[in-house]
A and B are shown apart, each in its own frame.
Chain A
Amino acid sequence: MPDPLFAHGVDLGAVVIVAVKVLVAFGVLLVSVMLAIWFERKVISDMQNRIGPNRAGPYGILQTLADGIKLFFKEDLLPDQADRFVFKLAPYLALLPALLIFTIVPVGGVVTIAHHTVELQVADPAVGILFLLALSSVSVYATMLAGWSSGSKYPLLGSIRASAQMISYEAAMGLTIAMVVIVTHSLSTRTIVDSQAASFFHWNIFRLGILPFPLFAVAVTAELNRPPFDLTEGEQELVGGFHTEYSSLRFALFYLAEFMNTITMSAVMVTLFFGGPDGPGFHFVRWLWPILWFAGKTVVFMYVYVWIRAALPRLRYDQLMELGWKVLIPLSLVWLLVVAAFRVGTVWGLGVFFGGVIVGSALWQAVLVGRARREVLEASRAGRRGANDSYLRAVPEPDGGE
């Protein structure tokens, strides 16, 4: 279904409405990033029994603004080993996807302004949710190029890790989004939201059987490099990660993009699984309630992100990759097939479900075989090297497990 705003072609009124929508969305995003950073610092300091920012403005609410203004006055360093063009390009590549992903999120219902039917979302392209996948791939380039062009070892290590992590979890993210598409029959975010309207039990989280939402949430958290998956900026190992060499406003743009992505992904979770702006409303100012519902749900997820950051320790890199490849991707693929099969028939669904269990145990066996093989390999290597470290020469257990 195309955007109804352009049903009669692109006339002046439509262009004005588009310009207003873009400007409002841009302003709201910047202000909400400002508030989100303050919110995160304040909530974390509460959880850690500290006071947190409390100087700039009431409750320190203007702290982020003060920090931003300060960064304008800081010297912008360009490391002499850096690839100058790519180094300057990377902040743009980080900011643009962050801004653009938000454009497809439906923030409210549909209103009529000056004979134009206006959907309260910036853009409603036909590819819809695929646009999200495309742009999150582009933001991998920002991380990769920023680290590579710095000409310094910690950013390089951080960016290589980050790109491997982001592409690993992107596949799981794509699979869970495909599940949503199976039940809504459309890629358009507006249709996805509309199909969940009417009742609480029409929300995709219930229609898809709960499991896809945690899968998507974990994949998105890893995609955002948020804790507990923030290995890119593990201070103890990598200083600041891929943006170590960035200072002044270039750093500010990375930081801005990071928080913008967190907000946007919270909003995407609401859109895909929690009915977007769906919720009970009242008969007066009817356009307002969906927006409030949407904002409320998004803030809940923002809070959960902060909570997770305060509560969970960082994963180890091999644990991260194991979780992504050996748990999330197979599980989401099997669940996708189960969802599809149940829509064809219950017998098919149960068949595919038990088939999935068999495939899962085959995968588990494969993991064990892989481990046993590597142990033998490592032992033979250690033997060739004549290492006297006896624990490296350990013979694998008969059952191959650890």
Chain B
Amino acid sequence: MGSLDSYLPIFFMVVLGIAFASLSFGASKLLAPQRPTSAKEAPYECGIVPTHEPARRFPVRFYLVAMIFVVVDIEVIFLFPWAVDSQSLGRFGLVEILVFAASVFVPFIYLVANGALDWGPIKRVRPVESQPDRTSSSTVRHVGPPNDQAA
């Protein structure tokens, strides 16, 4: 046991959390009405009948992000043991960690240069074709009693 003792409160909290959630669900089951209809159970679609199945395929960028995340996250986790002992490791530890950081950062720069972390098409401002005859008097139709500049 020994070091596991300090996890006792966490274990208690897990039990309490699960009990709280299950008891709430139980109470809700007793108190709430149960009148399911097929319309209620249909996927939400703002009130209209859904015509498309939910997409099963995703832009590959999400997978790319997940993979790059794994690399960066592993780097972060490997930094922690050094961070705790950084004082006693001193200059040696710093040089080691600089080399380690560089070995992750150089591929990261390569990925960025390849556009691996860019999203969607490049945003551009569309040129506005100027139409001098389009003014508020030509596009807004005035209703009501005719005035001096009736359209």
Residues of A within 8 A of B (CB): 2-3, 6, 9-10, 15, 18-19, 21-23, 25-26, 71-81, 91-92, 95-96, 99-100, 103, 122-126, 130-131, 150-154, 156-157, 160, 164, 167-168, 170-171, 174-175, 178-179, 181-182, 185-187, 239, 244-245, 248-250, 252-253, 317-318, 321-322, 325-326, 329-330, 333, 336-337, 340-341, 343-345, 348, 352, 359, 362-363, 365-367, 369-371, 373-375, 377-378, 391, 394, 402
Contact = CB atoms under 8 A, between A and B. Distances in A.
A187 B8 contact: no
B34 A75 contact: yes
Contact of A151 (B43, B73, B113): B43
Contact of B84 (A186, A239, A366): A186
A15 B127 contact: no
A71 B32 CA distance: 9
B119 A336 contact: no
Nearest to A21: B9
Nearest to A129: B80
B109 interface: yes
Contact of B98 (A126, A153, A352, A370): A352
Interface in B1-44: 1, 3, 5-10, 12-14, 16-18, 20-21, 24-25, 27-29, 31-36, 38, 40-44
B139 interface: no
30 contacts: A10-B5, A19-B12, A22-B9, A75-B34, A75-B36, A76-B28, A79-B44, A80-B38, A92-B18, A130-B80, A131-B10, A151-B54, A154-B44, A156-B55, A170-B73, A171-B69, A178-B76, A178-B79, A185-B86, A252-B24, A321-B119, A348-B91, A352-B98, A363-B109, A363-B112, A367-B113, A370-B114, A375-B122, A391-B126, A402-B124
Contacts of A333: 101, 105
Contact of B43 (A131, A152, A330, A367): A152
Contacts of B112: 325-326, 363, 366-367, 370
Contact of A171 (B12, B21, B73): B73
B46 interface: yes
Interface string B111-136: 01111111111111011000000000
Interface in B41-73: 41-46, 50, 52, 54-55, 58, 62, 65-66, 68-69, 72-73
Interface of B: 1, 3, 5-10, 12-14, 16-18, 20-21, 24-25, 27-29, 31-36, 38, 40-46, 50, 52, 54-55, 58, 62, 65-66, 68-69, 72-73, 76-77, 79-80, 83-87, 90-91, 93-94, 97-98, 101, 105, 108-110, 112-124, 126-127
Contact of B97 (A26, A74, A340): A340
Contacts of B118: 318, 322, 370-371, 374
Contacts of A370: 112-118
A172 B33 CA distance: 45
Contacts of B94: 340-341, 344, 348
A317 B79 contact: no
Contact of B17 (A79, A80, A96, A330): A96
Contact of B32 (A21, A72, A79, A154): A72
A6 B6 contact: yes
Contacts of A23: 16
A5 to B, nearest CB: 8
Contacts of B73: 167, 170-171, 174
A259 to B, nearest CB: 15
B69 A391 contact: no
B62 A160 contact: yes
Given A96-B18, A153-B43, A249 B65 contact: no
Contact of A79 (B12, B34, B41): B41
B12 A378 contact: no
A128 to B, nearest CB: 10
A187 B38 CA distance: 52
A72 B20 CA distance: 13
Contact of A103 (B3, B13, B69, B123): B13
Given A10-B8, A152-B54, A340-B97, A239 B31 contact: no
A329 B31 CA distance: 48
A183 B96 CA distance: 18
Contacts of B34: 75-76
